[in-house]
Amino acid sequence: MGIPTAHVATVTPISKSVGAVRIVGAVAIPYPVGQPNETKEKEEILRENIIEKALSALTS
Amino acid sequence: MLSRSEVDDMKVLHYLNPFFSQLGGEEKTNMAPMRIEGAVGPGRLFNSLLKEGQIVATVVCGDNYYAENMDKAREEVLTLIRKESPDIFIAGPAFNAGRYGIACGDLSHAVMRELGIPAVTGLYMENPAVDLYRRELYIVSTGRSAAGMRKDAVKMAAVTDKLLRGEEVGLPEEEGLIPMGKRVNIFCKEKAAARAVSMLIAKLKGEEIKSETPIPVYDIITPAPPVKDLSSATIALLTTGGIVPEGNPDHLPAATAKFYKKYSIEKLSRLESGQFESVHAGYDPVYANINPNRVAPLDILRIKEQKGEIKKLYPYLVTTTGNSTSVADATRMGKEIAKELLAAGVDAAIMTST
């Protein structure tokens, strides 16, 4: 038995093809939970949004 | 049946990434699609090998640009390809490069579907694109790196020439293709019942037998049950982005990692630039080095813990480099990590990948 894991990744089809079921789309390859083009505040809100999706995926 | 164009060789359209077209490395990975006249890089090798056609133009697109905007990028590349009215499409070869392989596979499939012309690409067996596209495409099975370019190009050119001549492509073993999983009916001298009995007798004798149809091996992964209550759960943060303490004290490799490490984050509320860095050679580390939380989001998870939304954050960052990691090594590491986390009372994990 494993551990429920949320995978935050950009190329989600790869994640699917190896059997992951809790997949959350990332922003981009060099910054999956970042956004260097935004202000620090906006970037942190974006990061929080993705983490919340990941946490939510863990409960379903 | 492809009809011969009256004047010249058939027209081949080649797709490459910026590295192979000698336009640049990782810094060009966000490059939008562009067209180059004639053949470049490995395209020149193809032109020297092809008997039935010549590469008339090359389309180049950055791997990140394609992977991060697939629908948009696909349309843009197809628009460039349509203008050339090619008879056939060659992509790559991409060897083990994941993003590049996905672009080659996706485009080859799109070209067949939307332009109605055949496509040939080349990928290493473990490229993630293989599992996604093998059923639809002629994928030549290449070596792991461009070191084997010449012999892989020979195989790709041979398949391309056959398709241009309208000839039937042979069995995967004959052509050096990755098996597409298709069943081919052939006539045999012996009836099936007789062949089956011969095979059984051989097997009982301990001799080697070759199954006429491969028995599929399904890797069915049963998902672990969900977390019932996050506020009483211990969550672990994992990354394949190669985030390590500055200086990489344990020498986590930039690629083909066979191990993972755990680094204490117990006293940290975020990963600080200058204290953590990325050693993964498959993406531009500049953004992660300025703010490692962009890859391993300790800052947000720590806030969630402080607010009580999760009970506890596992006190270690589990990290490895997911760059050309072999499937065997990745599977083994995954099992080892799961075992460790379960023993430590971890309820769930969030893993980020680049």
Confidence (pLDDT) at B211: 84
Query: Domain B10-175 is of which CATH architecture?
Result: 3-Layer(aba) Sandwich (3.40)
Distance of CA A6 to the CA centre of its chain: 7
Of residues B99, B233, B297, nearest to A11 (C-beta): B99
**Is the distance from CB of B271 to CB of B287 less than 8 angstroms?**
no
What's the mean per-residue pLDDT of chain B?
A: 93
Local confidence band at B106 (pLDDT 50, 70, 90 cut-offs): very high
Q: What is the mean pLDDT of chain A?
A: 94
Q: What chain B residue is nearest to A35 in terms of C-alpha separation?
A: B294
User: What pLDDT, on a 0 to 100 scale, did the predictor assign at position B286?
Assistant: 95
For position B327, what pLDDT does the model report? 84
SS3 B295: coil
Q: What percent of chain A has a predicted confidence (pLDDT) above 70?
A: 100
A29 touching B, CB under 8 A?
yes
Do the Cβ atoms of B348 and A4 come within 8 Å?
A: yes
Residue A59 sits at the chain B interface (C-beta within 8 Å): yes
Specify the pTM: 0.71
Nearest by CB to residue B297, choosing from A1, A13, A33, is: A33
**What is the pLDDT confidence band of residue B216, given thresholds at 50, 70 and 90?**
low
Contact check, Cβ <8 Å, B348/A3: yes
Query: Range with the lowest mean pLDDT among A22-31, B195-204, B209-218?
Result: B209-218
Going by C-alpha positions, the residue among A16, A46, A1 that lies closest to residue B128 is A16
Q: Compute the Cα dihedral for B35, B41, B47, B50 and give only its sign.
A: negative
Cβ within 8 Å of residue B165, ≥6 positions away? B52
Looking at beta carbons, which residues of chain B come within 8 Å of A45? none
Strands (E), chain B: 10-16, 34-37, 53-60, 88-95, 119-124, 138-142, 234-239, 243-245, 261-264, 276-278, 312-319, 348-352
Report which DSSP code applies to A32: T
Share of chain B above pLDDT 70, in %: 96
**Which pLDDT band, with edges at 50, 70 and 90, does B218 fall under?**
low
**Closest residue in A to B354 (Cα–Cα):** A29
For residues B267-271, average pLDDT: 96
Mean pLDDT, residues B288-304 taken together: 97
ipTM of this complex prediction, to 2 decimal places: 0.97
Burial class (CB in 10 A: 0-12, 13-18, 19+), B107: buried
Residue B187 is predicted with a pLDDT of: 87
**CB < 8 Å & 24+ apart, contacts of B248-256:** B248/B277, B248/B279, B252/B279, B252/B319, B252/B320, B252/B321, B253/B279, B253/B321, B254/B279, B254/B280, B254/B281, B254/B321, B254/B323, B255/B281, B255/B282, B255/B321, B255/B323, B255/B324, B256/B323, B256/B324, B256/B325, B256/B326, B256/B329
Inter-chain CB proximity A10 and B67 less than 8 Å = yes
- What would the pLDDT profile of B201-212 be if each residue is shown by its tens digit? 999 999 988 888
pLDDT given at position A14: 87
Residues of chain B with CATH 3.40.50.2300: 10-175
